[in-house]
Structure 1
């Protein structure tokens, strides 16, 4: 055998040994990485619930989430808070479908007016997964319970407050979160019914904000340009009053224009203290979330729950703010 052949033979053997070594090593790595080193700890939570909001990062819905998490912690429940980033029917329905497919123990969701919503909820309930609507009802569905505001009544309260605060004399513009959502329509209708017998009050414009502060600003600006006779605004969602207040301050008309909004976000509080917003309709989002979890536990344990629970609603003005904030301690 020539020297060249011997060298080639030795190199071949070395390469074969190295190749085998790498194969054994990486085979060992793959096997050991696929096998867990210890057993997964069992889930100690009693139930797995999902809360699906109108908008994931909406400040109002974060308060609902806060209440739900407080109850989940107290009662050892795994709570998922998931949903569309911005209000969207299709994304909301998909989230509900995915939650049902994951076989969660209960679904808590805002009720939708979309025609596909009730049939979907009915199918889920028929499969044995309880559904509770929160904040907005879907009374025609097979949902097992609703907890939230009486939205018609809250709009009616707003109308009566406006009558009292303006001495029954106002040209009103309404900024509503949505023309299509049940709770927004109910608030507008309640407001209209409250003022219908007042000869000195008339509604001159109704616009939609799409649950957007920026859109509320744009619509309020447009209204004041087209209807300079407007002396009052009613905002039917949490962000509407804030958007209107920004426009009123931009026009420097704080003393000429009355604003009644919805909810008590921090910016709403700021505008109430400044006197730009004169009143707001206060809901109980924390309580909605807390009690929804408790009701779902009761349903899972075979207990009866009321079909409808209306949480408290009231009108808050500047002088009400300090005592109200001092008395808020979670669920009352």
Structure 2
């Protein structure tokens, strides 16, 4: 049981993203057809929806392919709900820079804030200040263990530890007993939690390898070095898709394609293609489009009608394998996965 009275197991069982999503998407669709009379009256809220401004400060950096997917989700929600959503992130993963983005979001005095929480100690007080000022907040992607204590309405995201455990178990079933976990952003709580889950799920030898995720060449070189230093490793999990792309190159350069099985958290087009052709065993999709989409929609429905989920809602883990990669690739081409 976590600090909010909801266990991670219960979080997974809730099915909250589906339930909340159906309800909120239904609300978003109401009135789109230009209905008259009672339906038009019912769609009116406490504020004019066209006046709603939502700030979305995050830790997402431009090189991360998931950043564009998150932006797409936010923009789609803005169109569907008829509100303004400003998605923001740093040039590099740098906590002081992220703090400045969060501070600017609060200073802008928006109607609502949807934010990631990669570092609760550094960013939590800023979120608490926003809530104390009367700004409704939704957390997504990172912050499950802190959203209630900070006063956020809800949380959308993946249970990272359970996702790691399941990833470790899947690797074990594939015969992996010596696993390298590649961490491209040291100190990022989400990635540390994923590693811990992988370690506990595998039940064998697990070693965390730190690389510089901001530089693809440095990432690849770091992975090649790890492969040389760990000749007995027979499995590798990367904690992000860009790293997985470099890992494929590093494994090939090291001549270890037949001895090292690769899997990854999060997806990109090259990762999906590699899953489809068998170069990557599986990829974990936490459905980031849905995270930003539902966060913005939730703030809009709360500001309009005081409607919001009553608990956190999981959006992952969802596993992409060779069997379902084709349809996910089609949707990825539309910027949804």
Shorter-chain TM-score range: 0.7 to 0.9
Q: How many angstroms does 1:107 deviate by?
A: 1.4
- Within 5 A, what are the aligned runs for 1:134-153? 134-137=140-143, 138-139=146-147, 140-153=149-162
110, 115, 122: which is aligned to 2:116?
110
The one-character-per-residue Cα deviations of 1:118-138 (angstroms, maximum 9, x if unpaired) are 111111110011221111113
Equivalent position SS for 1:239: helix
Residue of structure 2 equivalent to 1:36: none
Aligned residues: 283
Unmatched 5+ stretches in structure 1: 1-42
53, 60, 77: which is aligned to 2:58?
53
192, 195, 219: which is aligned to 2:222?
219
Q: How many angstroms does 1:46 deviate by?
A: 3.2
Residue of structure 2 equivalent to 1:319: 323
Q: TM-score, normalised by structure 2?
A: 0.77
Unmatched 5+ stretches in structure 2: 1-47
Query: Are the equivalent residues in 2 in contact too, given 1:157–1:315 (CA < 8 A)?
Result: no
Distance in 1 between the 2:188 and 2:84 partners?
30
236, 240, 245: which is aligned to 2:239?
236
Q: TM-score, normalised by structure 1?
A: 0.78
Residue of structure 2 equivalent to 1:277: 280
Q: How many angstroms does 1:295 deviate by?
A: 0.8
Equivalent position SS for 1:288: helix
- Within 5 A, what are the aligned runs for 1:154-233? 154-166=163-175, 169-196=176-203, 201-203=204-206, 205-212=207-214, 213-233=216-236
Q: How many angstroms does 1:86 deviate by?
A: 1.2
Equivalent position SS for 2:135: coil
Distance in 1 between the 2:93 and 2:254 partners?
30
Residue of structure 1 equivalent to 2:259: 256
Query: Are the equivalent residues in 1 in contact too, given 2:154–2:312 (CA < 8 A)?
Result: yes
Distance in 1 between the 2:189 and 2:178 partners?
25
Structure with higher Rg: it is 1
Query: Are the equivalent residues in 2 in contact too, given 1:176–1:207 (CA < 8 A)?
Result: yes
The one-character-per-residue Cα deviations of 1:153-182 (angstroms, maximum 9, x if unpaired) are 11112111101222xx43211102333222
The one-character-per-residue Cα deviations of 1:78-134 (angstroms, maximum 9, x if unpaired) are 111222111111111111111111111111111122523111111111001122111
C-alpha RMSD of matched pairs (Å): 2.3
Distance in 1 between the 2:136 and 2:317 partners?
27
Distance in 2 between the 1:241 and 1:134 partners?
23
Q: How many angstroms does 1:256 deviate by?
A: 1.5
